[in-house]
Amino acid sequence: MVLSKLVTPPFLLHAEFRFNEKKATQVAALLIQLRGSQKMKYLKLLKLVYLIDRESLARWGRPVSTDRHVSMDKGPVPSRIYNLITEEQLKSGVWSAHIQTVPGYDVQLLSDPGNDELSQAEDDLIREVFQMHGHKNRWRLVEELHQVPEWRDPDGSMIPISIRDILTAVGKTPDEISEIERQIEADVFADSVLQPV
């Protein structure tokens, strides 16, 4: 019997980051503020958050939003943020205190949630991605994100996009991916010890 098999918690086989709703709210709020308006089409917001997470994974091996991602008909989407925008039963908590979904497929910023969850590097990355893509309308972003290798047509459903899928698509080698996955597992395990569910 191998000792490492005994001490490896089973959830690490599919480790994922604990979703930080406050941080995700701060990411979305900053994007809306950068637009120079209190509103943004939520499809555009979802695409910009995905692009931020994709670039963050390429640079640092972790998503800024802490969300997990799925392929949907209109391209890749951060799934928990999508649910916060579209699911009525989730209209409580940090997100809804600061951001609401309004008619016309918009999200509206109600109040500034601050930025204490974001590092300076993450704040800079959000601004960089907005500078590169914020001028594009939602349909152009949908079209562009249909071209990324990790997106698969779900045919009306949704398909999970793993961190490995994204890392492979952005050109990480198998060794680099393995090292990033080991670090993610360590971070997830440390988080579970420090902040048990």
What residue type is assigned to position 195 of the chain?
A: Q
**How far is residue 69's CA from residue 114's CA, in Å, rounded to a whole number?**
24
Question: For residue 113, is it within any domain?
Answer: yes
Name the average pLDDT for the chain: 90
Express each pLDDT in 101-120 by its tens digit: 999 999 999 999 999 999 99
Torsion of CA 99, 102, 104, 107, to 10 degrees: 0
Full residue range of the structural domain in which residue 66 is found: 16-169
The three-state DSSP-derived secondary structure of 58-102 is HHHCCCCCCCCEEEECCEEEEHHHHHHHHCHHHCCCHHHHHEEEE
Tell me if residue 182 falls in helix, strand or coil: helix
Question: For residue 176, is it within any domain?
Answer: no
Express each pLDDT in 121-160 by its tens digit: 999 999 999 999 999 999 999 999 999 999 999 999 999 9
Number of domains in the chain: 1
Question: For residue 4, is it within any domain?
Answer: no
Question: For residue 69, is it within any domain?
Answer: yes
Q: Phi, psi at residue 173, to the nearest 5°?
A: -80, 160
Reported as a pLDDT band with limits 50, 70 and 90, residue 39 is very high
Whether the predicted pLDDT of 97 surpasses 70: yes
Q: What is the pTM of this model?
A: 0.89
Question: For residue 182, is it within any domain?
Answer: no
Contacts 24+ apart (CB under 8 A), 109-116: 109/29, 109/32, 109/33, 109/38, 109/39, 112/29, 112/33, 113/22, 113/25, 113/26, 113/29, 114/26, 115/26, 115/30, 116/26
Reported as a pLDDT band with limits 50, 70 and 90, residue 16 is confident
What pLDDT sits at residue 192? 73
Half-sphere exposure at residue 67, Cβ-oriented, CA atoms within 13 angstroms: 30
**How far is residue 184's CA from residue 181's CA, in Å, rounded to a whole number?**
5
Question: For residue 103, is it within any domain?
Answer: yes
